[in-house]
Amino acid sequence: MSVFSPATRDRFERLAASYPQARSALVPMLLYAQDELGYLPPEAIAEIAALLGETELAVREVIGYYSMLRTAPAGRYHVQVCTNISCMLRGGEEILGHCQRRLGIHNRQTTPDGMFSIEEVECMGACAWAPALQVNYDFHQELDPAKVDEILEKYRRQG
Amino acid sequence: MAERPAYPAAHPAEVRVVSQRFGDPRAATLAGYLDTGGYQALGKALGLNGGEAMAPEAIIEEVKKSSLRGRGGAGFPTGLKWSFIPKGGDKPKYVLCNADESEPGTCKDRLILEYDPFAIIEGITIAGRAIGAQRGFIYIRGEYRYVLDIMQRALAEAYAAGYLGANIRGSGFSFDILAHTGAGAYECGEESALMESLEGKRGIPRLKPPFPAISGLYGCPTVINNVETLASVPPIILRGGDWFLNIGLPKNGGPRLFSLSGQVRNRGVYELPLGFPLRRLIEEVGGGVLGGSLKAVVPGGSSTPIFTAEEALGLNLDYDSVGKAGSFLGSGGVVVINDRTCMVKFALRVMQFYRHESCGWCVPCREGTNWLQLALTRFHRGDGRPEDVDLFTDVAQNILGRTLCPLGDAAAMPILSIVRKFRSEFEDHLHGRPCPFAAESSAVPVA
Ligand SMILES: Cc1cc2nc3c(=O)[nH]c(=O)nc-3n(C[C@H](O)[C@H](O)[C@H](O)COP(=O)(O)O)c2cc1C
Ligand code: SF4
Ligand code: FES
């Protein structure tokens, strides 16, 4: 039994075959696995390791290196706030503080209903439109507290 | 519901070459690309339009003539880099496009990837032809998922129309490109770390030599270039190296993209001729400093040594002028800082970044960034000791030049320049005094 959907499993097989060496598919596979499952549980790690003919230890070492990969669940909406220089100069730290107060959680925590988590992150390539945050993969830019409230509310309603 | 950056009309000072299609929603489709002059350069290189194909050496010669220098950070001459690839040999060769864009202050490659993906594909294909490669990879930072989607759609269209794959448009030349996602790691933007990552490993840099031109991806000869560098190639091939060179300055060919951010009115990404005065970028294009007067400018992304206002206002933005003034043009990320911003705080935030991103392999980088972050935090709080200021410099000096990859230098250079140029601000934090700027945040909210 696979922990992945048939479509994802298919995609993994195609991915592994599309590089000169199958192991090259590891990082993308881990990220796509996380997209589907919300995080990387031991079963997913074991299955990916088997697919690529690698040890689970080798896969875990790779997971530990990349900041986007996680082995524990985050909120359904993972709010990543940039406080690096271009954002800091335009209020990124205030935006982070505002998110924390609104959601009642600190950095790297998840709301009790599992809806939101917060992470302070490094530059996300939105410097000229700072301050910026990403909710999962979606960029939100030129933020102020009111705009942040609207954004969080939209996700909350989306459920 | 993701937001895409908006693109205003070109500023009159701009020369739009790699940004020529910014804001045009059709350019990311093959039809739109072809309508706006796309694939004419590849046509010329491969002799698809009746003319004779260019010899690979002639392509490299044209790029050399253009004086195109890398837009990713180090500013190495692109044509020269390509010429290091050995001719013949039985190993496959590779072209890597570095789309890991994560140098703080830099947000330009995202726009090319988003608005002009085919220009990158065309540039990689021409590079492949020039060095005798048959495969290319585009390594896109994991956070840029919508960009990966755009690129994958563009690649599929290019394949369907015969612009990629076996025997491109009947030319006899075959070339494949795969878009690959990273998963969060600044370090993977460093070329050898990127290759490790693309091989499915942690992004620990490799010892050099051997250089990628001899032993790169999978131990094979590899050219790695930044997105903007590769997107500059089609216009150079189409309009000639001389044309490109003459937009800029000798040894500094062409225009380049500057990401303008921080406390300045009209932030954005602007394509300006190399040699453009920084004063004009801030005052005329940028519309002036916000929230105070100018205090400092980071010229090329967070790892480049900082300039005081006075230095900045006399500076021209080309590789050699910025180099002579003691910094680097880097990734073209210009960050404007006003006089209400605390430079100790600024140095601390920069150090926090490098400590977070250090892969921990080298002791000076791992321990140095860790210590500096802790000490700067304490210092900024008002718990500093007079001897700390020199200690910051000593510790940073001990990282400089003693590490496996340039991330160590990237961490050391900003703090060294900030302590040297803004020493009095450090002294103002001493004797139990809290940050003199702390009463109110200097951050300028979005209007
Ligand atoms: C820590 C570190 C991070 C880097 N990140 C990037 C990056 O995100 N994008 C990039 O193009 N180059 C980056 N570089 C520079 C690359 O190592 C390499 O010089 C560049 O991709 C070469 O392309 P170019 O000659 O076209 O500039 C980085 C270098 C270092 C040391
Ligand atoms: S300099 Fe820093 S980031 Fe680079 S290899 Fe050494 S420890 Fe890793
Ligand atoms: S510094 Fe925040 S997006 Fe670049």
Provide the CATH number for the domain around residue A137. 3.40.30.10
Cis peptide before B5 (omega within 30 of 0): no
Å from CA of B392 to ligand 2 middle = 19
Q: Identify whether A147 is part of a domain.
A: yes
pLDDT value, residue B235:
98
pLDDT value, residue A38:
96
Q: Identify whether B7 is part of a domain.
A: no
Give the helix, strand, coil percentages of chain B, each rounded to 5: 45, 15, 40
Q: Are A63 and A44 in contact (CB under 8 A)?
A: no
For residue B49, the Cα-to-chain-centroid distance in whole angstroms is: 34
Indicate if B422 and B287 belong to the same structural domain.
Answer: no
Instruction: Kindly determine whether residue A144 and residue B441, on different chains, have CB atoms separated by under 8 Å.
Output: no
Indicate if B82 and B229 belong to the same structural domain.
Answer: yes
Query: Nearest Cβ partner of B197 from A18, A27, A139?
Result: A27
Q: Identify whether B325 is part of a domain.
A: yes
Indicate if B214 and B306 belong to the same structural domain.
Answer: no
Residue finishing a domain among B285, B319, B338:
B338
pLDDT value, residue A151:
97
Q: What is the CATH number of the domain that holds A56?
A: 1.10.10.1590
Structure tokens, B254: 């062409």
pLDDT value, residue B440:
62
β-strands B333-338, B294-298 pairing: antiparallel
β-pair partners for B72: none
Structure tokens, B346: 């600024």
3-state secondary structure of B209: coil
For residue B233, the Cα-to-chain-centroid distance in whole angstroms is: 16
The closest-lying atom of ligand 2 relative to the alpha carbon of residue B187 is 3
Q: Alpha helix (H) ranges present in B250-342?
A: 278-280, 309-313, 319-324
Cis peptide before A131 (omega within 30 of 0): yes
Q: Identify whether A133 is part of a domain.
A: yes
Cα angle: A88, vertex B392, B103; to 5 degrees: 40
For residue B219, the Cα-to-chain-centroid distance in whole angstroms is: 25
Residue finishing a domain among B338, B357, B392:
B338
Q: Identify whether A69 is part of a domain.
A: no
Query: Nearest Cβ partner of B443 from A31, A68, A90?
Result: A90
| B315 vs B214: CA distance, rounded Å | 37
Q: pLDDT of B30-71, one tens digit each?
A: 999 999 999 999 999 999 988 899 999 999 999 999 999 999
Residue showing tokens 């131990």: B219
Q: Which letter, b or e, does each residue of B209-244 get, where b requires 16 or more Cβ atoms within 10 Å of its Cβ?
A: eeebbbbbbbebbbbbbbbbbbbbbbbbbbbebebb
Q: pLDDT of A51-91, one tens digit each?
A: 999 999 999 999 999 999 999 999 999 999 999 999 999 99
Å from CA of A72 to ligand 1 middle = 32
Q: Identify whether A125 is part of a domain.
A: yes
Residue span of the structural domain in which B419 resides: 343-427
Indicate if A83 and A10 belong to the same structural domain.
Answer: no
Q: What is the CATH number of the domain that holds B231?
A: 3.40.50.11540
pLDDT value, residue B3:
64
The closest-lying atom of ligand 3 relative to the alpha carbon of residue A124 is 3
Residue finishing a domain among B213, B247, B281:
B247
User: How many CA within 13 A on the CB side of residue B309?
Assistant: 10
| B302 vs B334: CA distance, rounded Å | 9
Indicate if B363 and B285 belong to the same structural domain.
Answer: no
The sign of the torsion formed by the CA atoms of A9, A12, A18, A21 equals negative
Q: Identify whether A72 is part of a domain.
A: no
| B167 vs B125: CA distance, rounded Å | 12
pLDDT value, residue B25:
87
Q: Identify whether A71 is part of a domain.
A: no
Indicate if A59 and A81 belong to the same structural domain.
Answer: no
3-state secondary structure of B294: strand
The sign of the torsion formed by the CA atoms of B142, B143, B147, B149 equals positive
Q: pLDDT of B214-245, one tens digit each?
A: 999 999 999 999 999 999 999 999 999 999 99
Indicate if B197 and B229 belong to the same structural domain.
Answer: yes
Total domain count for chain B?
3
Total domain count for chain A?
2
Residue showing tokens 């837009």: B71
Going by CA atoms, what residue is nearest to atom 4 of ligand 2?
B405
Q: Are B126 and B177 in contact (CB under 8 A)?
A: no
| B145 vs B397: CA distance, rounded Å | 38
Indicate if B359 and B291 belong to the same structural domain.
Answer: no
Averaged pLDDT, A94-101: 97
Give the mutation candidate from A15, A21, A27, A88 for the B interface (greatest B CB count, under 10 A).
A27
| B298 vs A88: CA distance, rounded Å | 14
| B332 vs B252: CA distance, rounded Å | 13
User: How many CA within 13 A on the CB side of residue A63?
Assistant: 25
Indicate if B85 and B190 belong to the same structural domain.
Answer: yes
The Cα of A3 is separated from the nearest Cα of chain B by a number of Å equal to 21
Indicate if B330 and B378 belong to the same structural domain.
Answer: no
Q: What is the dihedral of CA B195, B200, B206, B212, to 10 degrees?
A: -20
Q: pLDDT of A117-152, one tens digit each?
A: 999 999 999 999 999 999 999 999 999 999 999 999
Indicate if A145 and A82 belong to the same structural domain.
Answer: yes
**Amino acid at position B144, single letter:** Y
Percent of chain B past pLDDT 90, that is, above it, reads 90
Structure tokens, B191: 């070329």
Percent of chain A past pLDDT 90, that is, above it, reads 99
Indicate if B45 and B145 belong to the same structural domain.
Answer: yes
For residue B42, the Cα-to-chain-centroid distance in whole angstroms is: 24
Indicate if A83 and A129 belong to the same structural domain.
Answer: yes
pLDDT value, residue B5:
62
Indicate if B311 and B205 belong to the same structural domain.
Answer: no
Indicate if A127 and A152 belong to the same structural domain.
Answer: yes
pLDDT value, residue B442:
74
Backbone angles phi, psi at B165, to 5 degrees: 100, -160
Indicate if A50 and A85 belong to the same structural domain.
Answer: no
Averaged pLDDT, A37-41: 97
Indicate if B55 and B136 belong to the same structural domain.
Answer: yes
Residue finishing a domain among A16, A39, A63:
A63
B357 lines ligand 1 (CB under 6 A): no
Indicate if A58 and A95 belong to the same structural domain.
Answer: no
Residue whose C-alpha is closest to residue B255's, from B54, B31, B22, B82: B22
Indicate if A35 and A103 belong to the same structural domain.
Answer: no
Tell me how far apart the terminal alpha carbons of chain B are, to the nearest angstrom.
22
**Confidence grade of residue A159 (pLDDT, cut at 50, 70, 90):** confident
ipTM of the complex: 0.98
Going by CA atoms, what residue is nearest to atom 30 of ligand 1?
B190
Indicate if A107 and A54 belong to the same structural domain.
Answer: no
| B73 vs B246: CA distance, rounded Å | 22
Q: Identify whether B288 is part of a domain.
A: yes
Indicate if A31 and A83 belong to the same structural domain.
Answer: no
Structure tokens, A81: 């706030």
The Cα of A111 is separated from the nearest Cα of chain B by a number of Å equal to 22
Indicate if B386 and B325 belong to the same structural domain.
Answer: no
Number of alpha helices (DSSP H) and beta strands (DSSP E) in chain B: 19, 11
Backbone angles phi, psi at B439, to 5 degrees: -50, -45
Residue span of the structural domain in which A46 resides: 6-63
| B405 vs B357: CA distance, rounded Å | 12
Instruction: Kindly determine whether residue B261 and residue A134, on different chains, have CB atoms separated by under 8 Å.
Output: no
Q: Identify whether B446 is part of a domain.
A: no
Backbone angles phi, psi at B5, to 5 degrees: -60, 145
Indicate if A43 and A95 belong to the same structural domain.
Answer: no
Number of alpha helices (DSSP H) and beta strands (DSSP E) in chain A: 7, 4
Instruction: Kindly determine whether residue B143 and residue A134, on different chains, have CB atoms separated by under 8 Å.
Output: yes
Q: What is the CATH number of the domain that holds B300?
A: 3.10.20.600
pLDDT value, residue B1:
43
Which strand (E) or helix (H) includes residue B326? Answer: none
Low-confidence stretches of chain B (pLDDT beneath 70) = 1-6, 432, 439-441, 447
